């Protein structure tokens, strides 16, 4: 059940209506839990037991970690939980990658030991959420949840189950235990977030996906620099509008149910450095990688070279988290290298917003660098990536080969203007408190955009669902 389908809309309306009809307390909790399991089951009900097992395991491990006093035993429970989560992830996501590379290394056919494994949707997200919870309990930053239903809901809560944002237990349970009905402002914001997300997904991401798919699916049919740049520009737009559209919808839905999710995208293409980009792109993953990987590795505490090593390791693993392929590892390494370079040149330069004159050049350069990274992210193979890069930088320029129509550029320009205004005034948060007519105009514009420009012939899956 994709967010951008009428089935999901009906499901969400029904669940929300029922939620507010039920008395506060257990009934609402179990409604959301059942709805979340139904939502997950519509993808593939066979993976429901897996979700249940991971939930039970981490629930008991966290209790064990909290109740035991002996450090060795506490650590054992932590290792059991983290190991099990990573084990499941490893089996489902990385087994075939490891097996085919090992076979290749031994001179055997790549598929010698591979198996037909279906990746459970959302496993990368909910296992990271589980790990963070048990680690937080181990660190004493979070109390172990006593009620299994409460914990199961934290893991399975349907708005963010399959593609985040990765919510910390403290954030979720703060809302959960002190739940209050959303006020007018929150309802209006919730609806606005949902509709903005839907517009981003259907009217922009899905439009750009057609161009990106055409380009990357038929590379030899589109030679030259103009086609290559428009192909990668389209993918850059697709992945941003797709993923941020999804999380906007998740945030909006959660808000309507009385939960406050962290913002996952802070206008990443306005970043003026790679360091700044990672403070704006997939914020909940960056935060997770920082708190549970980079800092435990030593962060920036061991001198320059160790800092660069930790940055590289974090980004390489971050790349691998996205998918089991060398291209994702290269993409992670590419970003890790730029983060290290920026750190080497002086962190402050890349953290503080440059002056108004310099900013556009820095932002443009950062966008180009990010686009180069996206080549590895999107291309099917390393060879394809090199082919695209070669075309981008050494191919001949023929304007007739530009794949993006002018009107789509115009919509990107509008989105760019909206992002700049949001960066300066944060008007999205403030709009519901402003005049009703302004709010209504925006909503009407979004509705028309979805109706007239949204790709509705088929529901296009979200890019991040594959991770």
Q: Which positions are annotated as active-site residues?
A: 322
Query: Whole-number minimum distance, CB 186 to other proteins, in Å?
Result: 9
Which is closer to other proteins, CB of 410 or CB of 420? 410
With CB under 8 A as the contact rule, the residue among 34, 117, 420, 440 that binds other proteins is 440
10 binds other proteins per the rule CB under 8 A: no
Binding to other proteins (CB under 8 A) within 135-194 occurs at 184, 187-188, 191
447 binds other proteins per the rule CB under 8 A: yes
With CB under 8 A as the contact rule, the residue among 359, 393, 397, 448 that binds other proteins is 448
Beta-carbon contacts of 117 under 8 Å, excluding residues fewer than 6 positions away, are 91, 92, 95, 96
Query: Whole-number minimum distance, CB 20 to other proteins, in Å?
Result: 13
> Which one of 129-137, 327-335, 364-372, 438-446 is the stretch in contact with other proteins (CB under 8 A)?
438-446
412 binds other proteins per the rule CB under 8 A: no
443 binds other proteins per the rule CB under 8 A: yes
> Which one of 26-34, 128-136, 268-276, 400-408 is the stretch in contact with other proteins (CB under 8 A)?
400-408
Length of the chain: 467
Query: Whole-number minimum distance, CB 213 to other proteins, in Å?
Result: 17
439 binds other proteins per the rule CB under 8 A: yes
Which is closer to other proteins, CB of 193 or CB of 277? 193
Q: What is the DSSP letter of 76?
A: H
Q: What is the DSSP letter of 459?
A: -
- The number of residues that bind other proteins (CB under 8 A) is 21
116 binds other proteins per the rule CB under 8 A: no
17 binds other proteins per the rule CB under 8 A: no
The DSSP annotation for 250-314 comes to HHHHHHHTT--PPP--S-GGG-SSHHHHHHHSSHHHHHHHIIIIITTTTTTTT-HHHHHHHHHHH
452 binds other proteins per the rule CB under 8 A: yes
393 binds other proteins per the rule CB under 8 A: no
Residue with tokens 């459970």: 120
Query: Whole-number minimum distance, CB 417 to other proteins, in Å?
Result: 18
Which is closer to other proteins, CB of 91 or CB of 445? 445
Beta-carbon contacts of 395 under 8 Å, excluding residues fewer than 6 positions away, are 223, 224, 225, 226, 227, 228
End-to-end Cα, the chain, rounded Å:
17
With CB under 8 A as the contact rule, the residue among 38, 368, 371, 453 that binds other proteins is 453
Please, are residues 394 and 222 in contact by the beta-carbon 8 Å criterion?
Answer: no
Query: Whole-number minimum distance, CB 406 to other proteins, in Å?
Result: 7
> Which one of 10-18, 148-156, 297-305, 401-409 is the stretch in contact with other proteins (CB under 8 A)?
401-409
Beta-carbon contacts of 11 under 8 Å, excluding residues fewer than 6 positions away, are 1, 35, 38, 39
Which is closer to other proteins, CB of 101 or CB of 456? 456
* Cis before 386 (ω within 30): no
Residue 362 token pair: 């820095």
Please, are residues 261 and 254 in contact by the beta-carbon 8 Å criterion?
Answer: yes
> Which one of 44-52, 141-149, 391-399, 453-461 is the stretch in contact with other proteins (CB under 8 A)?
453-461
406 binds other proteins per the rule CB under 8 A: yes
| Cα separation values, 228 from 65, 135, 328, 401, Å | 52, 44, 20, 9
Query: Whole-number minimum distance, CB 184 to other proteins, in Å?
Result: 5
Q: Which has the closest alpha carbon to 259: 191, 181, 329? A: 181
Cβ count within 10 A of residue 405: 12
Please, are residues 465 and 121 in contact by the beta-carbon 8 Å criterion?
Answer: yes
Which is closer to other proteins, CB of 348 or CB of 458? 458
Beta-carbon contacts of 336 under 8 Å, excluding residues fewer than 6 positions away, are 311, 312, 313, 314, 315, 316
Residue with tokens 């909290």: 66
Which is closer to other proteins, CB of 150 or CB of 213? 213
What is the contact surface with other proteins in residues (CB under 8 A)? 6, 184, 187-188, 191, 405-407, 410, 436, 439-440, 443-444, 447-448, 451-454, 456
């Amino acid at each position: 059940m994709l967010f951008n389908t009428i089935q999901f809309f009906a499901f969400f309306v029904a669940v929300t209506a029922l939620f507010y009809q039920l008395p506060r307390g257990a009934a609402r909790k179990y409604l959301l839990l059942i709805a979340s399991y139904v939502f997950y089951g519509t993808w593939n009900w066979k993976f429901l037991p897996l979700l249940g097992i991971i939930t039970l395991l981490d629930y008991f491990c966290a209790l064990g970690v909290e109740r035991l006093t002996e450090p060795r035993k506490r650590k054992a429970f932590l290792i059991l939980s983290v190991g099990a989560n990573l084990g499941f992830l490893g089996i489902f996501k990385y087994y075939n990658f490891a097996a085919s590379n090992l076979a290749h290394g031994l001179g055997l056919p790549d598929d010698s030991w591979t198996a037909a494994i279906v990746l459970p949707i959302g496993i990368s997200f909910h296992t990271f959420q589980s790990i963070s919870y048990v680690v937080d309990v181990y660190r004493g930053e979070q109390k172990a949840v006593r009620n299994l239903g409460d914990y199961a809901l934290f893991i399975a809560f349907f708005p963010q189950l399959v593609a985040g944002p990765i919510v910390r237990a403290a954030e979720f349970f703060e809302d959960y235990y002190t739940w209050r009905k959303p006020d007018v402002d929150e309802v209006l914001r919730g609806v606005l977030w949902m509709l903005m997300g839907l517009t981003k997904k259907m009217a922009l991401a899905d439009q750009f996906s057609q161009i990106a798919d055409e380009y990357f699916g038929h590379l030899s049919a589109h030679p030259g620099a103009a086609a290559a740049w428009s192909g990668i520009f389209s993918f850059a737009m697709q992945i941003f509008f797709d993923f941020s559209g999804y999380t906007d919808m998740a945030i909006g839905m959660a808000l309507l149910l009385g939960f406050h999710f962290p913002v996952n995208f802070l206008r990443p293409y306005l970043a003026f450095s790679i360091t700044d980009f990672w403070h704006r792109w997939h914020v909940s993953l960056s935060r997770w990688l920082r708190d549970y990987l980079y800092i435990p590795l030593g962060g920036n505490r061991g001198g320059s070279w160790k800092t660069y090593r930790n940055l590289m390791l974090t980004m390489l693993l971050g790349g691998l988290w996205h998918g089991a392929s060398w291209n994702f590892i290269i993409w992670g390494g590419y970003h890790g290298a730029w983060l290290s370079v920026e750190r080497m040149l002086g962190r402050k330069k890349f953290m503080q917003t440059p002056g108004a004159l310099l900013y556009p050049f820095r932002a443009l350069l950062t966008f180009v660098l990010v686009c180069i990274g996206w080549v590895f992210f999107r291309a099917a193979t390393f060879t394809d990536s090199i082919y695209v890069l070669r075309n981008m930088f050494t191919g001949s320029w023929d304007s007739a080969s530009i794949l993006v129509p002018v009107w789509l550029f115009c919509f990107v320009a509008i989105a760019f203007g909206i992002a700049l205004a949001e960066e300066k005034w944060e008007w999205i948060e403030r709009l519901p408190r402003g005049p009703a007519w302004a709010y209504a105009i925006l909503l009407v514009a979004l509705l028309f955009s979805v109706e007239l420009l949204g790709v509705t012939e088929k529901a296009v899956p979200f890019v991040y669902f594959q991770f």
